[in-house]
Each structure stands twice: as structure tokens, then as C-alpha cells.
Amino acid sequence: MITDFLDLGLSNEILNAVAELGFEKPTPVQGTIIPQLLAENDDIVCLAQTGTGKTAAFGLPILEYLDQENKETQVLVLSPTRELCRQITQDLQNYAKYLKRIHIVSLYGGAAITGQMKSLKDGAQIIVATPGRLLDIIKRKAADISNINTLVLDEADEMLDMGFKDELDAILESAPEDRRTLLFSATLPKEVEAIARNYMKDPKIVTVGTRNAGAENVEHYYYMVKEEDRYAALKRIADYNPDIYGIIFCRTREETQKIATALQKDGYDADALHGDLSQAQRDNVMSRLKRRALHLLVATDVAARGIDVSGLTHVINYNLPQEIELYTHRSGRTGRADRKGISIAIINQREKGKIKRIEQVIKKEFTRLPIPTAREICEKQLLHLINGINAAEVSTDIDEFLPLINEQWDSIPKEELVKKMLSYEFNRFFDYYRKAKDINIQEKPKKDTDSRKKGERKERKLSRSEKDSKNFVLEECEKGFKWVKINLGYKHNISPRTIVDIARECGANKSDVGRIEITNDCLYVAIKKDLAKKIASQIDGGTLRKYKLTAEVLK
């Protein structure tokens, strides 16, 4: 692996642009991939995530061997979301700053297609696109990928996860055979392997740290509260961290909007990012976040995919993600560029098992923290205010107003004045926290007191599966959905992804499938009301691996 940009074999134009961006040395993925891409012509599967510097890893060599005189499309980069598309395009434009005749166009859904088709008129040597929109534009004969020499599949696992399989197949089949294909993915599920097998020529597999570059710097904490105290816990966490600059992850668009609105009402610089917003609204939110005019972004996983904002201090899981792998994506938004990052999960008592399973996946331990008390929060906020006042530069502009100020305040003793000023800033907190109760859950010691009372001498040890399934309480199903109970659980090695796949095979779309709760013995999947019966009857009687499936719609 090369550790100096000067040794990578890049031209001065590109090196200058990279230096201007403040990149001092190549990241591991860059040091490994760039020399290979420049020297050889092999297809490559690279296991790397957002945050590892992979855009420059493929972007710099691509720009290096682009024919600037040729206006045809030579390179196609496919990415799962519009945000990532725009980000890659912006990054490539930055790297190409000193290359004169390079035209890069991005094509993604959610924006007018006519404008995008127009932007292709003058030729686009590089197209960065989401699969669906690109196919649409190819069908309208406004884009031509028949002469590309390089095809990049960025975040391939996400693209497949988002249901772009058919679009990808169509695009991969219509691209010229002698192209080079580079596939980037955080994980290597069998669907991604199948793409590599079917559409790539003997690809080299390069693994450069499967975790985010910053994952080592992230500390993981959880707070345990009753379900009804989740929002109060969020507020306390935010108040206890006066310099917080972070993303709060929710599971659904509705919840995202609800939490963002509540936070705004409660006086926080917060806003929502989810799929129901228009492109202009999303751009506005993102630009405010990047300028730090917004301190808390409340987002769904899909909307936040690929977002790269530097310096985020916290990631808060308002609810843990349904799929454990998503936790890594979420927490990877913080702890970048050698900064410390904090990933927090707010959980209820029934979710402790999930924390254990996440620990196994991320290979790090969580620390449980008590929810800060009202007093601790007020003290922290007060100190923050005092430190801010201490650090303030005194402007000479204030001098001319001194007589007026003195006239107003001369008669008030200093101590009284300080109290008044701090109270003025602070009464919001005092008012709120005066009535605040302790919302921590005290864990009970695990004793079977009932059976002791009854004089049962032999305490039967419950197996893990009995315990979990016994303690499990199914919540009310989300609006518009119905719980479908299926007879397989963790002990049958079932993951949420398997369930989504089964539901899909039975004709459900991703949006038809809601929450999934898995216990050891069985699982519950929320399916859109009007489809629940049909899907359950299709699952019922089928088999998965060696297991016979039963499925029923719950009342």
C-alpha cells in the first residue's frame, strides 16, 4: 500500500486539486486501489464503505485516463441514492478542477428529467446516476452507454437492497463487454457476489478495512428508558451535550417528521430529512446542516444513505434499526477524520438483546449510561453559558453604549445582576427540569421470587429461547399495517432480511413491509393491511430451508 500521494502515479493537475482539498496522504483504500487501477486493467471488487475515501480511490484514476478530447460517455458510475450521486459528482468535479474539458453529469430521480436530458446534450464523459433514472433516460435515447470503458457500481449492496436488481441487470447487459467493471460494497452478500460472477471478468477482491475509516474512533452507549419516555430521554441527551451536532435516526418517515417537529417546537435547531420531502427541501436541509445552522438532523436510514458531513459529534438511534447491519452505517456518520464520535442508542427494556447482537456484529461493547438528571443537565448548560461568556471577545462598539447600560444597571448589585442575566437565558431549562422526574429504569435482580414464595425448591433454569419468547410483548402494529406471525425465529437463524425477501417473493414491495420483531421461536412482520391476508396465505404451508412455514394474520 502506498502512503504518499506523489508515489501513486497521478498527474500534477490531479495532485494539485487533491492538495487543495487538504488531502495530505492517501487513505488505505486509495493507497491500495489507485496504483492497481492505473497499472492494470483488471475488474475489481472492493469491500469498503462510505467514509473510507473510496470516491477518490476510483475517481482519481478514472479522471487520469479519461480522453478529454472525446465527448462520448466513457465512464458510468451507478449509485443507490440521489444524495450520493450528487456527492460523487461534486467530488469528481473537485478532483477535475485543473482538467480543462471534462463534463460530468448526474442523473437521479426526484428531479425534472427534462433538465437532466438537456444537460447530456453537450456530451457527458462521465455519467453518475441512480439505476432507475438512467434506464429511463436511456430508453428515451438521451443517454448512450454503448461506448463506456469503465463502469463503477458504488455501494452495490445498498443498490440491491433498495430493489434495483432488475435495473442493474438491464444496464449491465447493455454496457459493452470489453469495459472494466469496478464494484464497491460495504458487505458481500450473495446477491452482490452474483453480480460479480455474472457481469465481471475474474475480478480481484480487495478488502481495505470493511469498517468505516472512523469506526475505531466511535464509542457506543445506550440509555434504557420506558417506551413512553423515549422522547424525554432524547431531549435530555441533547441538553446534556450543548455542543451537539448530530443525526438522530428514526425508522419511519412519519416518526422522523414527528420528532423533528417536536424538537423544533421545544426550541432546538432541528429538521427532518426523509423521502416525502421535495428535492429542494432536502437540499435546503442538507445545506443548513453543513453550514451548522442546523444542529440536529432527524433522518430515515434511506434518506441519510451516503451523506457525508464532517465533524458530526453524535449519532443517536432514536430507535434501533430493524436490520442490525444498518447500525454500522448509522454510527459510521460520526468519528470521521480522527475525531472522536459518539453513537447512542435509546432503548426500552425489551431491546437489550438487540444491543448484544449489535455488539457481536461491530465487535465493540456498548456502555450503559444513566439518563442525566435535571440537576446535571442544568449544571452542564450553565457552565456552557458561563464558558461562552468568558470566551466572548469584548467589542469596542459596546463603549458608546456604556453610559446607557450603567444608567440602567447602576442600582442593581453585581450578584443580583449576574443572577438576573443567567436566569434570563436559563429559565427555559429551569422551568422544564423543575418538574422533571428520573426516567432511568432500575433493572431488577433476576430472581424468581414467585416460585420461592411458593416454596418451590428447585429453580428451573429457563433456556434462552424460552426466556426471550416469554418476556416478549408485541406492541400494537403501526397504522395501516397488520402483524403477520410466522413460526420461525432466531433459533432458526432468521434475519430481518430473510423475511423481507420472503415477503417480496410473495409479491410485497419493500414499502409493504413494516416493522419486524424476531423472538427466538417466532417472528412478527408488519404487512400493509390490504395485503396481509394474501401474503400470509402464500407463506403458510411453504418451506424455508428445512422448515415448514406457518403464517397467520393477528387481530
- Residues interacting with ligand AMP, by CB under 6 A? 23, 26-27, 30, 50-56, 308, 310
Packed helices 190-199 and 165-174: angle between N→C axes, nearest 10 degrees: 10
- 339 vs 467, which CB is nearer to ligand AMP? 339
Q: 3-state class of 512 per DSSP?
A: helix
- 13 vs 308, which CB is nearer to ligand AMP? 308
Shortest Å, Cβ 115 to ligand AMP: 26
**What are 180's strand-pairing partners?**
150
- 60 vs 135, which CB is nearer to ligand AMP? 60
Q: Are 217 and 335 in contact (CB under 8 A)?
A: yes
Shortest Å, Cβ 20 to ligand AMP: 12
- CB count in 10 Å sphere of residue 370: 13
Q: Are 381 and 426 in contact (CB under 8 A)?
A: yes
Q: Are 273 and 249 in contact (CB under 8 A)?
A: no
DSSP string, 417-457: HHHHHHHHHHHHHHHHHHTPPP-PPPPPP---HHHHHTT--
Shortest Å, Cβ 78 to ligand AMP: 15
- 56 vs 535, which CB is nearer to ligand AMP? 56
Q: Please, where are the H alpha helices in 40-152? A: 54-64, 82-95, 113-119, 131-139
Give the N- to C-terminal CA distance of the chain in Å, as an integer: 59
Shortest Å, Cβ 352 to ligand AMP: 33
Shortest Å, Cβ 338 to ligand AMP: 10
Shortest Å, Cβ 50 to ligand AMP: 5
- 51 vs 61, which CB is nearer to ligand AMP? 51
Shortest Å, Cβ 312 to ligand AMP: 12
- 26 vs 353, which CB is nearer to ligand AMP? 26
Backbone angles phi, psi at 517, to 5 degrees: -120, 125
Instruction: Dump strand ranges (E) for 296-338.
Output: 296-300, 314-317
DSSP state of 443: P
Shortest Å, Cβ 273 to ligand AMP: 18
Closest CA to 56 of 215, 184, 200: 184
Packed helices 529-539 and 496-505: angle between N→C axes, nearest 10 degrees: 90
- 159 vs 439, which CB is nearer to ligand AMP? 159
Distance of CA 181 to the CA centre of its chain: 26
- 15 vs 382, which CB is nearer to ligand AMP? 15
Shortest Å, Cβ 23 to ligand AMP: 4
- 333 vs 492, which CB is nearer to ligand AMP? 333
Q: For residue 406, with 0-12 CB atoms within 10 Å meaning exposed, 13-18 middle and 19 or more buried, which class applies?
A: exposed
Closest CA to 91 of 130, 120, 51, 119: 51
| β-pair type (218-224, 341-347) | parallel
Shortest Å, Cβ 526 to ligand AMP: 33
Shortest Å, Cβ 51 to ligand AMP: 5
Cell of 392: 466572548
Shortest Å, Cβ 111 to ligand AMP: 21
Amino acid identity, residue 215? A
- 310 vs 395, which CB is nearer to ligand AMP? 310
**What are 547's strand-pairing partners?**
544
How distant, in Å, are the alpha carbons of 76, 78, 157, 322 from that of 204?
A: 20, 20, 17, 33
- 59 vs 353, which CB is nearer to ligand AMP? 59
- 96 vs 523, which CB is nearer to ligand AMP? 96
Backbone dihedral region of 379: left (phi > 0), alpha (psi from -120 to 50 degrees) or beta? alpha
How many residues in total does the chain contain?
555
Q: CA angle, corner 174, sides to 170 and 177, nearest 5?
A: 125
Q: Are 92 and 128 in contact (CB under 8 A)?
A: yes
Shortest Å, Cβ 297 to ligand AMP: 17
Q: CA angle, corner 275, sides to 271 and 276, nearest 5?
A: 80
Distance of CA 333 to the CA centre of its chain: 7
Integer Cα distance of 551 and 555 in angstroms: 13
Q: Are 125 and 73 in contact (CB under 8 A)?
A: yes
- 27 vs 185, which CB is nearer to ligand AMP? 27
